[in-house]
């Protein structure tokens, strides 16, 4: 399934049905009074979050959504049927913005949340409503009100316990595949992952949701590489997992560049909990690894783990650490 994290759609709530202007006509009753019923209310448009969805791809090919109109009233004081509400389901973490794509309307942060985004029009009044002591046979009726209609933007920010970040080709997709049942594209070249991938891992009866965020490069917040398109997904993660390739020449610089990209995008990201994993330990000898980490320890005061995504023991160790961090 293709990933889509932004969509512009047009929504139109149903119009209210018109009221009826009718009069009672029965045998032996020469002057029957008014008996026109009210029109039904138009259907509203409701947006509901669903944790089983993870993309807005359904809104790429269908961009116009209309709720049902209310039915008109009829004789014998019969009120028209209300129009049926239209419920649009979106992934958990979706935000609704006005047409300017800047003014936030609603933010879905829990499963099965509902938000009435466009209200259906009220039904019109039948002529029986206008009967009075001075007007025994009113012909007046009113039309139904129009339902609300406008364009909105849907933006998805992936919600995950752990966000896996790092430079392209650091092994993020391989780590996600090893920890979960997710099947991201894996290859030995940069920018293999061009969309966020989600997976769930389990340890000691607990579960943790992980998101593999496409590779960040220097200048990503300005649009370099894959740009800032996916930086917003990091905002929702409880913990950031920095994955660094041990074969990099300068581990300190690699870590600082990624850190700087996060801060340049949003300063609040600097305060997120983080854990550092040095990957591809199977490609270097112990002596070289120690030499590199001695320099790293001098400059960076953060805890880290040395791993290989191909080691079953390391994968179990990673799960235990991630559960611990996600529970804090």
What values do phi and psi take at 116, rounded to 5? -80, 110
| CB neighbours of residue 25 within 10 Å | 10
With a cut of 50, say whether residue 225 has pLDDT above it: no
With a cut of 80, say whether residue 320 has pLDDT above it: yes
With a cut of 90, say whether residue 328 has pLDDT above it: no
What per-residue confidence (pLDDT) applies to 90?
A: 95
Question: What average pLDDT does this structure show over 41-61?
Answer: 91
Question: What average pLDDT does this structure show over 42-65?
Answer: 92
In the chain, the domains with their CATH numbers are 1-156 (2.70.210.12), 162-327 (3.40.50.300)
Torsion angle in degrees (nearest 10) through CA of 52, 319, 174, 3: 20
Question: What average pLDDT does this structure show over 180-196?
Answer: 50
What per-residue confidence (pLDDT) applies to 221?
A: 40
* Whole-angstrom distance, CA of residue 200 vs CA of residue 160: 9
What per-residue confidence (pLDDT) applies to 27?
A: 77
Q: Is 175 helix (H, G, I), strand (E, B) or coil?
A: helix
With a cut of 90, say whether residue 151 has pLDDT above it: yes
What per-residue confidence (pLDDT) applies to 142?
A: 95
What per-residue confidence (pLDDT) applies to 326?
A: 79
Percent of residues in the chain assigned helix, strand, coil, to nearest 5 = 25, 25, 50
* 108-136 pLDDT per residue, tens: 999 999 999 999 999 999 999 999 888 88
Nearest 5°: CA angle at 86, between 85 and 88? Answer: 145
* Whole-angstrom distance, CA of residue 153 vs CA of residue 266: 22
CA distances from 157 to 129, 136, 233 (A): 50, 60, 5
CA distances from 240 to 66, 85, 269, 272, 296 (A): 40, 40, 9, 7, 19
* Whole-angstrom distance, CA of residue 159 vs CA of residue 109: 8
Could you tell me what percent of the chain has a pLDDT over 70?
A: 88
What values do phi and psi take at 189, rounded to 5? -155, 155
**Number of H helices and number of E strands within the chain?**
6, 14
With a cut of 90, say whether residue 220 has pLDDT above it: no
Question: What average pLDDT does this structure show over 245-267?
Answer: 87
Q: How confident is the model at residue 224 (pLDDT cuts 50, 70, 90)?
A: very low
* Whole-angstrom distance, CA of residue 96 vs CA of residue 48: 11
Q: Which two tokens stand for residue 281?
A: 């330990």
Candidate from 139-148, 201-210, 225-234, 275-284 with smallest mean pLDDT? 225-234
What per-residue confidence (pLDDT) applies to 120?
A: 97
What per-residue confidence (pLDDT) applies to 316?
A: 92
The per-residue pLDDT of the chain, averaged, comes to 85
Q: Which two tokens stand for residue 132?
A: 């009075």
What per-residue confidence (pLDDT) applies to 153?
A: 96
Q: How confident is the model at residue 69 (pLDDT cuts 50, 70, 90)?
A: very high
What per-residue confidence (pLDDT) applies to 183?
A: 59
- CA 113 to chain centroid, in Å, comes to 12
What per-residue confidence (pLDDT) applies to 232?
A: 73
């Amino acid at each position: 399934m293709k990933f889509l994290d932004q969509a512009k759609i047009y929504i139109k709530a149903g119009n209210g049905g018109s009221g009826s202007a009718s009069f009672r006509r029965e045998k032996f009753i020469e002057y029957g009074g008014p008996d026109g019923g009210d029109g039904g209310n138009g259907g509203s448009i409701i947006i509901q979050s669903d944790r089983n969805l993870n993309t807005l791809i359904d809104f790429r090919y269908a961009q116009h959504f209309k709720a049902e109109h209310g039915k008109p009233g009829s004789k014998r004081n019969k009120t028209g049927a209300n129009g049926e509400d239209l419920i649009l389901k979106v992934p958990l973490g979706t935000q609704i913005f006005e047409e300017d794509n800047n003014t936030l309307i609603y933010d879905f942060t829990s499963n099965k949340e509902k938000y009435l985004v466009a209200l259906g029009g009220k039904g019109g009044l039948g002529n029986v409503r206008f009967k009075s002591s001075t007007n025994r046979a009113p012909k007046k009726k009113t039309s139904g009100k129009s339902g609300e209609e406008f364009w909105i933007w849907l933006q998805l920010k992936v919600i995950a316990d752990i966000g896996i970040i790092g430079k392209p080709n650091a092994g993020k997709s391989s780590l996600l595949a090893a920890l979960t049942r997710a099947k991201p594209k894996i290859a030995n070249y940069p920018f293999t992952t061009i969309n966020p991938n989600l997976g769930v891992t389990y340890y000691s009866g607990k579960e943790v949701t992980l998101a593999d965020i496409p590779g960040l490069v220097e200048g990503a917040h300005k649009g370099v590489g894959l740009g800032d398109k996916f930086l917003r997904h990091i905002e929702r993660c409880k913990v950031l997992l920095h994955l660094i390739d041990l074969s990099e020449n300068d581990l300190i610089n690699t870590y600082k560049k990624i850190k700087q990209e996060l801060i340049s995008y949003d300063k609040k990201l600097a305060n997120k909990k983080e854990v550092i994993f040095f990957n591809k330990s199977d490609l270097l000898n112990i002596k070289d690894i120690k030499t590199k980490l001695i320099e790293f320890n001098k400059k960076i005061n953060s805890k880290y783990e040395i791993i290989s995504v191909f080691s079953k023991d390391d994968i179990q160790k990673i799960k235990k650490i991630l559960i611990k961090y996600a529970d804090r």
